[in-house]
Amino acid sequence: MRAKEALIAWTPRRCRDEPTRGQIRIGQIGTGDGDAAHWSDAFACTGGAAYLARQGFNEYQLLQCIIFDFVDLVAFDGIPAKAAHREFLKIDEYRRAVLGYEAAKAWECQQQEDER
């Protein structure tokens, strides 16, 4: 899904009495009535597409916001990095940026092995 459609929902680890404490989920922002539109209600916080200002951002600006969101959730709210990464891979812009990096690193490792 595109970043402009991606609602980030999470509950910080400091929220001790919450059943979703330390969890994250990324899904499409609610567009209609019924339970599907309110999937994020179980979480203490929402972000991403919930911020209306982001709707006018270009792809580069959105990617910056996504990276900042990831760092904030992991560093300040105690969301496990692997769980955050797994969910953020649902966002097209994040996935393209990260998998592009991983592919480049794999190529570099292969080049080093070939030189040996």
- Cβ contact 101:111 at 8 Å: no
Q: pTM of the full predicted structure?
A: 0.80
111, two tokens: 């080049």
Mapped onto helix, strand or coil, the DSSP state of residue 28 is strand
DSSP string of 77-106, one letter each residue: T---HHHHHHHHTTSHHHHHHHHHHHHHHH
72, 75, 76, 77 alpha-carbon torsion, rounded to 10°: 90
- Cβ contact 80:66 at 8 Å: no
Summarised one tens digit per residue, pLDDT across range 33-73 is 555 568 889 999 999 988 888 889 998 999 999 999 999 99
Mapped onto helix, strand or coil, the DSSP state of residue 90 is coil
pLDDT number for residue 76: 97
| Conformation bin of residue 22: beta by default, left when phi > 0, alpha when psi is -120 to 50 | left
Task: Please report, for the chain, the start and end positions of each structural domain, with discontinuous segments joined by +.
Answer: 3-115
pLDDT number for residue 71: 97
